[in-house]
Structure 1
Amino acid sequence: MVVKLNKGNALKKSNTTESIEYVQNESNITVINAIGYEYNEDLHIYQSLIDDFNQFSKETNLNITIYLNLFTRHNATLENKSGFLYTQETYLKKKSNLYDIYFYDSVYTPQLGSYFIDLSQYLSKEHINIYNEKIIFEVCYLNNKLVGLPVTLDFSVLFSNTSILNKYNKKIPTTWDELLNTTKYIKEQEKILNNNNDLIIYNGLFPENEVGTCSLYEFIYSYRNSENSTFPVVRSQETVNALEMIKTLKDEVSSDQTFLNVDELIYENLFSNNENALFLKYWKTIPEVLNEIEDLKKIYYFSISTDKSLLGLIIFIIIIIILIVMISSTSLLFIKRFYPFISFLPRDFWFLIILGSIILMFRALTEYGKVSLILCHSKPLLLSIGITFNLVPILYKLIEYLNKPMNGNGGNGGNGTLNMFNFKNNDDDENINNNSFTILDNNNNKQIKSLK
């Protein structure tokens, strides 16, 4: 859990009577409002920290009081931390001064960190060095900015039922292989001696939230080569061994329901195309799983480089050819024999349509190169401009047509219809200036309309 400090001053009613009296008795008190979330309000540490600070502030005359606004399952409709994340991000996007301190899970630092101030500009190095250097560097820094400070650390533990272990003269396992052998033996003995098939041998703890993700990372991390080794890369043999052991534990000593004892497992949506969890059915091979994990971590883009694929270069060549054809098509607007086919719109409008089509093709080129803020913003901009240039001429012609009254005095019995017509160039072949044409009714050989 990380805390972030902001500026602001919104006074709210406190949860504790002591702090209420303290705020009321001192008119020059600076009130700092904090916001946090805890599913179980009886297990959080925030209020204890704040009460200690408020007491210290009172004793040393700091004239500062912190009020905690704690979101829980009882006072808010938020189902989990993800819902609270949305609430916090909404306040931050609106640049609200309602809250000054934000307690949040460190896994959301990439999403929230950009809204926070750089604490290294306000705190001394001596104060920052109080915290564990490795922890604060991994969870509190974003783009070389200190966006928070660690408040609590969560540790996952493996609970061992010593009474059952002692019953079968087994020790607490220290490796996954020992755990597998121990649990297999106890499971078989319980079934033979006590006809007990309901014993929970091992629960994987892989719910569909950050807890499941943490369990997976912890399992893979436990398979590193040595204690001082870094986290194994996704395609390493260590990762393969870890995934195979997870499957073995599930198949041999656990069950579908027990292996994922709470919620739906995280792999259902991430790795299995909405089938049952990957490590339940395990329809895919280890290389396929690693590919999908890597796909989730990477941001792909097109490139004209042929190092990994020819697809990017092929599509790029096709786009360039289409652009050349589009640009060359403007020459058709100046060829006399095509005038009857383009007289529907003024020449300027045809240029506008071609320009819109070219812009839409340039929109496809924004998929090339690494993702950047400029490229992301240019995509909808080019799309909007291109479609607008394409549709405006047609819309103009439609409006012009709807606003022009119909002429009922036509040929062929006076019903205003033309059975056949042709175009006649009003200019000679050598001097084409005004590009005017006359529509002739072939039935009555009468001039119907002159076009320019």
Structure 2
Amino acid sequence: MNKKYLFFSLFIYIYTGIVNAITINLAGQSFLKSFEDLYALITREFNKYAKENDLDINLNFILFSIENTTKEWDSFDSAMHLLLQQKKTKYDMLIYDPLFTRRLSPHLVNLKDYLPKEHLDQYLGDAEKIGVYEDKWVGMPLLLKYTILYSNKILLNKYDEKIPKTWDQMLATGKRILEEERKNNNYDLIGFNGYYPKGESTMCSAYSFLYSYRDSKESPVPEINSKTAEEAFNMLLKIKNELSNDEVFSIGEDNHIMMLYMGTVIFSNFWDFDHEVPNYYMTPLPGKTEDVNGSCLGGYLLGINNYITNEKKRAASEVIKFLTSEYIQKEVILKQFKCFSALTKLYDDEEVCSYTDCELMKSIQGIERPSSKIDNYEDYSSKYTNLINDFLYNNKPLKEALTEIDDILKIYHFSQKTSTIALILFIIIQIIFCCVILMTALLFIPKFKKYFRFLSNDLWIMYVLGVILVISSVFPFFGALTSLKCFFNHIILSTGLNFILTPILYQLLINFPKINVYSEWLKKNKYLFIGLIEFINILIGSLLLLSPYKIKEIIIEEGKNYEKCQLDNKYGTVILIIQIGILIIKFLSINTLIYLEWNLAVIAHELKIIVIMMGMDCILIALYCIYKLLNITNYITYYTLYIGIIVLFFLTNHTYLFIIRIILSNKDGDDEMVMKIRQSTHSYIHKLTTSQQGNISKSSHMSNNTETETQYSNKSKTLTNILKIHESTSFFS
């Protein structure tokens, strides 16, 4: 009875422990049998470790293989990304490609919050390059992958050649061996397999080759449009032409591996797929100099789903801590599966160095692909590799290919330092700026005072300041665009337009033919009125600082990308609409007052000039609206059109007002023209007034009591008053 009870209790204890254990589902992909075996082993090892240490955690590995997924390099990672975007918790952990670190980072746990600092500090260097994004450690490397140089032992020993450390050495050694072997009718031998097939592999090979041409170990990847890049890719083409051919250079992984096992290639650039490839040395890829090399860095990263429970996050962190422990990295990753570990301290362990080439790992200079620095890396990589392949296989000029690669990401700025057109326009704007200031002197020359009677000097100064501001609005567009520059362009332009319109509006208000208290108040409070209006406008514009402009990148396929200002929020749009509304009200008010004051003798000539200005401004506004609606794909054209509109404004407004009208002015001719306009207007008004009075007389005879007749009479009376004001040649009460 006691035995049965003990057995039953033990069964319940074990069963309860299994049921209560937290199950962590870890998803990973493999198309190789060796990695399937690796995943199975680390799963068993962790579950054994968890049981021995009473962790109550059970690791369940879900394998995505060629049998249940497509054989695309990014199919698994893309599927995981889609699930995480939907905040699914089907998988608690995943093993992913470092190329996806940036894309997956918002959906993965920051391991700094769950792993001890001393554990993370063991994984600096290459592990940090691929596992950290924006100071957030989202992936711990289960293992690392590098591209390396495979050198044929038999042939090097046969011809007493050393393993090359520079590309020049490899080219010379390869040419000598090929020449000697062909004397023996060995035409199947290939000097170098570069590994430049279509797809991501070419990106890996080309990027690391460029990296190998930097000046020193500490130097960054050379700029793609630099002389160094030209030197590097010219060497690559030379190597391909003299040691290989298009067909071999572009073969895929399976054929590449086959060539290595058959021994039909002297040198080969490939991933560290097997540390025991027969008859080949494995060393770092060559460089421009012996102390510099470059290998493409890859690996398998462990990440935790950010949407699972905190309890599961803690359990998953235990899994990562164990899989990146010294035991697993040493006994499993390095010893059993001959892979590279990111735990660098192991390469100082004599036991490890007895079964691993520690010097190889210490000397490799890995470079991660720029997937964490580019928004749409897949698109960039595709264009980059296509252009490199066009250069290698389709005779595309190198300079053209490198320029187009540079253009994929490069943002072109409208700068006088880089563009001749921008320089010319910059000089023109400065000349115009100076001309406006010099023209202001005409206001103070007695001979020309008669042409500027419409406004007082202080109002003319305000008008000129407005013109200067409008012209100055183009300067923020020179050089790199920023949110602050966009704001300055907006506030300078809107203030300038208001400074131009306000003096004219003010003068027309105080010149109203019918004497009224409002006009009289304005005469006495000129600066208060103008100051209040402009203060309100500047205050409204300044509110955009609370909802600033954004810089929108205009991406041009096979062209030059550029930036422009954009307001893409409701708050900023409302402010913009209010400011436009103020300008429209001022513009309409000015035109209405021009009509009402058209016959005032004291300003008749000036009104004619202002009408011409208003008409030209209407055309410029229409041109500006068309410009904003156009989808312009050339950055030079985009900014040149804007500056062109500003130059037209200067020519059609300020130049006409200050220069052209003075040159063309003929006092007698002007007076005659004014008199004809007045006579024509008087005749029209007389006929219209007589007709209206006749209608009023007839309607009053029919019925004086109906509502319709009253409204008609009121409208007629209003129209008569308007016509009376319009007809007035002098002020009246």
TM-score, structure 1 as length reference:
0.61
Q: Secondary structure at the match of 1:226?
A: coil
Cα distance in 2 between the residues matched to 1:43 and 1:116? 23
Alignment partner, residue 172 of structure 1: 163
Alpha-carbon distance in structure 1 between the residues aligned to 2:20 and 2:226: 60
CA distance, structure 2, for counterparts of residue 236 and residue 106 of structure 1: 28
Q: How does 1:380-419 map to 2 (within 5 A)?
A: none
1:171 shift after superposition: 2.8
Deviations 1:165-191 (A, max 9, x none): 333333322221111112112222333
Count of residues paired in the alignment = 332
Determine if the alignment matches structure 1 residue 49 to structure 2 residue 42.
yes
Aligned to 2:183: 192
Where does residue 153 of structure 2 map in the other structure?
A: 162
Q: 1:171 to 1:137 in 2, by over 3 A?
A: closer
Change (3 A) 1:112 1:306: farther
Query: Is 2:273 the counterpart of 1:281?
Result: no
Q: Which amino acid aligns with 2:61?
A: L
Corresponding residue for residue 209 of structure 1:
199
Q: Structure 1 pair 226/52, CA: closer, same or farther in 2 (3 Å)?
A: same
The match for 1:65 among 52, 55, 58 is: 58
Distance apart, 1:128 and its partner CA: 1.0
Correspondence for 2:223 among 229, 233, 245: 233
Deviations for 1:388-418, whole angstroms, at most 9, x for unmatched residues? Answer: xxxxxxxxxxxxxxxxxxxxxxxxxxxxxxx
RMSD: 4.6
1:249 has 2:239 as partner: yes
Alignment of 1:79-94 (within 5 A): 79-94=71-86
Please report how far the alpha carbon of residue 302 of structure 1 lies from its aligned counterpart in structure 2 after TM superposition.
6.4
1:267–1:170: structure 2 CA closer, same or farther, 3 Å change rule? farther
Measure, in 2, the Cα distance between the counterparts of 1:291 and 1:275.
11
Aligned to 2:719: 431
Unaligned runs of 5+ in 2: 1-13, 254-378, 427-473, 479-488, 495-548, 555-560, 578-691, 693-711, 721-733
- Label 1:226 to 1:316 Cα distance change in 2 as closer, same or farther (>3 A): closer
Inter-CA distance 39–429: structure 2 relative to 1 (3 Å threshold): farther
Which of 101, 116, 126 does residue 124 from structure 1 map onto?
A: 116
Query: Match of 2:127?
Result: 136
Which AA in structure 1 matches 2:201?
V
Question: C-alpha offsets along residues 299-348 of structure 1, whole Å, 9 cap, x if unaligned?
Answer: x3766x6554539969989x99xx9xxxxxxxxxxxxxxxxxxxxxxxxx
Match of 2:405 in 1: 293
Give, in whole Å, the separation in 1 of the partners of 2:165 and 2:388.
Answer: 34
Q: What residue number does 2:210 align with? A: 220
For 1:315 and 1:217, the matched residues in 2 are separated by 36
- The alpha-carbon deviation at position 53 of structure 1 amounts to 1.0
Question: Contact conserved, 2:171 with 2:239, CA < 8 A, in 1?
Answer: yes
Distance 1:107 1:228, change over 3 A: same
Query: Take 1:24 and 1:377, find their aligned partners in 2: how far apart are those partners?
Result: 57
Matches within 5 A, 1:18-33: 26-33=18-25
Distance 1:91 1:74 in 2: 20
**For the Cα contact (< 8 Å) 1:225–1:238, is it kept in 2?**
no
Matches within 5 A, 1:435-450: none
Show the counterpart of 1:103. 95
Distance 1:60 1:97, change over 3 A: same
- Is the radius of gyration larger for structure 1 or structure 2? 2
Q: Cα–Cα, structure 1 residues 308 and 48, in superposed 2: closer, same or farther, change >3 Å?
A: farther
Deviation at 1:227, TM superposition (A): 3.4
Q: CA deviation at 1:29?
A: 0.9
Return structure 1 stretches of 4+ with deviation > 4 angstroms.
Answer: 22-25, 266-269, 271-276, 305-309, 311-317, 368-372, 374-379, 425-430
Q: Please name the residue that 2:447 is paired with.
A: none
Unaligned runs of 5+ in 1: 1-21, 324-363, 387-424, 433-452
* Structure 1 residues 204 and 190, CA gap change in structure 2 (3 angstroms): same
Preserved CA contact (<8 Å) 2:198 2:250: no
Which structure has the highest helix share of the two? 2
Q: 1:120: Cα distance to partner?
A: 0.7
**By how many angstroms is 1:274 displaced?**
7.7
Conserved in 2, the CA contact under 8 Å of 1:268 and 1:278?
no
CA drift at 1:260? 1.5
Alignment partner, residue 409 of structure 1: none
| 1:158 positional shift | 1.6
- TM-score calculated relative to the size of structure 2: 0.39
> 2: CA distance between counterparts of 1:177 and 1:293?
26
Q: Deviations over 1:221-251 (max 9, x none)?
A: 2222233444333344433322111110111
AA aligned opposite 2:222: P
8 Å Cα contact 1:268-1:274 kept in structure 2 = no
Distance 1:141 1:252 in 2: 41
% identity of equivalent residues: 31
Residues 378, 255 of structure 1: alpha-carbon distance in 2 compared, 3 angstrom cutoff: farther
